[in-house]
Amino acid sequence: MPCSGLGIIRRKPDIKYKDFSEFDGLLPIQKAILNNAKSYVKAGGKLLYSTCTLRKAENEDIVNEFLAQNNDFKLEYSHTFMPHIDGTDGFFCALLIKN
């Protein structure tokens, strides 16, 4: 999924010099990709949404909006991996199951 990449800022420190307002243009793209992907999931199938960012707008907000608009999906699992806690780059994943 295209994202702001803020979870990998230690690997790409130049990200911190970007204008954060540029990142909002990613939201419609993320929504469109997720909405397109749903049509390929069979009943009982799984859809994994993942980004390498820590922004709530690109993570939980996208997933919550998707679930509100698609009641045939449910959230099975989600987690935000934090570098200082999980010892990895920062990223988010949400596993969605189609009813």
Tens digit of each residue's pLDDT (9 = 90 or more) over 5-54: 999 988 898 988 888 888 889 999 999 999 999 999 999 999 999 999 99
Distance CA 66, CA 30 (A): 11
pLDDT of 16 reads 84
Q: Given 3, 9, 34, 52, which residue is catalytic? A: 52
3 is catalytic: no
Distance CA 52, CA 46 (A): 20
